[in-house]
Amino acid sequence: MNTNLLIKERIGTIDCIRGFALLGIFMVNLPNMLGIFTPLKEEVTINQWVEIFFNLFISDKFFVLFSFLFGLSFFIFMSRAEAKGYGKKLFARRLLFLLLFGIIHRLFFWAGDVLLLYAITGYFLLFFYNRKPKTILVWGVLLISAFIILVHGLIGFMVLNAPSLLDGFFHKEAQIEAYHTLGYIDWLIWHFNAEVIPETPQNLLIIPLLLGIFLLGLYTGKIGVFQRIEQFIKPLKKIQAASCLASIPFIGLLYYCRVAEDPIALIKAFETLYLQAGGIILSAFYMTTLMILLRVSLAQKILSPLRLYGQMALTNYLTQTLIGFVIFFTMRLYGSIELYESALICIVVFITQIIFSNLWLKNFRLGPFEWIWRTLTYGKRQELLKNK
């Protein structure tokens, strides 16, 4: 291991990007939590424009960013652990408790949890940690490309042979009744049978894609991109320009599929492919743009609140679910909120969480759930208060 690449302190750019990604993830997750669906109608509404904007610029973009940073964080964690004399078992233990968080999160609150998937996929990273950067890059690109072409290509051909799949709508009467009428214990039983059991196996299918994205993050850690941004500024600018240009066709195809009165069936059938491939490409543009911007002092000041927000990503992610749970279950508003209202709620929650994160980390070293996770990982109580 090259000691020049060992990371002794937190890198603010990584936390800023993680905070930025977390905002986008919440904006996508909350409508799913609240049972919001906006079918396209002849009369264009604000909800339809919000949905179009989400599909073009948010859906499948911020999840990619967050996943990429998980792979990068794996490298950072392993580098620090090795410097302290720990081995791979420490990361395996860390993943075990992340898996536990994910199971609790998925079973008792929301079936859309990603922590369980991250934990399972994270174990595969251990097989790549000591591989050469080029090998890691090749595996990452191959996994992502194969998943997009095979899975979304198959979906496209299925849709061509079964046009009804284009509707993309399923009746939510049963869901709405459950969220509006059941007590928590009865809801848990319904939730387990109607949501957790059917959705979890489907979620596990994205593990190859997730691993590919993780590996790209691991690759950047291995070659020291975030540790030595100035040395990589020229390639970063090239990636920024290339990803911006490459994303335009996908954005155009998605827009066409969403607004055309009678889209060509062959083009419409592969909409999920445009969404996934375009999401990965556009996420590269978002990340490189932020990396370049954060070299400028003014941008650093403007985006500085994101740093501590991203530093408490686990706490903020789980808190977002709790807030969503209060809205869709405790307040019985499942299926009753418009998409644009969901976006406004996200912004309010986002601002509140940024303020809380910045206030909390003035006095504490770690976020609440980060502290619990770290304590469980090391098997001993970690220092929480600063200046101790």
pLDDT of res. 72? 96
User: How far is residue 288's CA from residue 243's CA, in Å, rounded to a whole number?
Assistant: 9
User: How far is residue 330's CA from residue 187's CA, in Å, rounded to a whole number?
Assistant: 11
Helices (H) and strands (E) in the chain, counts: 18, 0
pLDDT tens digits, residue range 205-254? 999 999 999 999 999 999 999 988 999 999 999 999 999 999 999 999 99
In a domain, 367, yes or no: no
pLDDT tens digits, residue range 108-156? 999 999 999 999 999 999 999 999 999 999 999 999 999 999 998 888 8
Closest CA to 209 of 135, 158, 151, 155: 151
In a domain, 384, yes or no: no
3 state DSSP class of 317: helix
User: How far is residue 222's CA from residue 72's CA, in Å, rounded to a whole number?
Assistant: 9
**Which token pair is 11?**
């890198």
In a domain, 369, yes or no: no
In a domain, 112, yes or no: yes
**3-state helix/strand/coil string of 257-274:** HHHCCCCCHHHHHCHHHH
The answer to whether the CB of 209 falls within 8 A of the CB of 150 is no
In a domain, 124, yes or no: yes
User: How far is residue 122's CA from residue 42's CA, in Å, rounded to a whole number?
Assistant: 45
Work out the average pLDDT over 41-55.
Answer: 77
Identity of the amino acid at 255: Y
Beta bridge partners of 364: 385
User: How far is residue 250's CA from residue 215's CA, in Å, rounded to a whole number?
Assistant: 24
pLDDT of res. 193? 94
Whether the pLDDT of residue 298 is over 50: the answer is yes
In a domain, 381, yes or no: no
In a domain, 281, yes or no: yes
pLDDT of res. 344? 93
Sign of CA dihedral 99, 101, 102, 103: positive
Q: Return the beta strands (E) in 174-236 as ranges.
A: none
**Which token pair is 124?**
């595969």
Domain containing 23 equals 3-361
pLDDT of res. 169? 45
The answer to whether the CB of 189 falls within 8 A of the CB of 303 is no
In a domain, 387, yes or no: no
User: How far is residue 40's CA from residue 1's CA, in Å, rounded to a whole number?
Assistant: 54
pLDDT of res. 37? 66
User: How far is residue 292's CA from residue 298's CA, in Å, rounded to a whole number?
Assistant: 12
pLDDT tens digits, residue range 179-202? 999 999 999 999 999 999 999 998
Query: How many other C-beta atoms are found inside a 10 Å radius of the C-beta of residue 1?
Result: 12
Number of domains, the chain: 1
User: How far is residue 99's CA from residue 88's CA, in Å, rounded to a whole number?
Assistant: 17
pLDDT of res. 5? 43
Angle among Cα 50, 165, 25 to the nearest 5 degrees reads 35
pLDDT of res. 300? 87
Query: How many other C-beta atoms are found inside a 10 Å radius of the C-beta of residue 189?
Result: 11
pLDDT tens digits, residue range 363-373? 999 999 999 99
Looking at the chain, the whole-number percentage of residues with pLDDT higher than 70 is 93
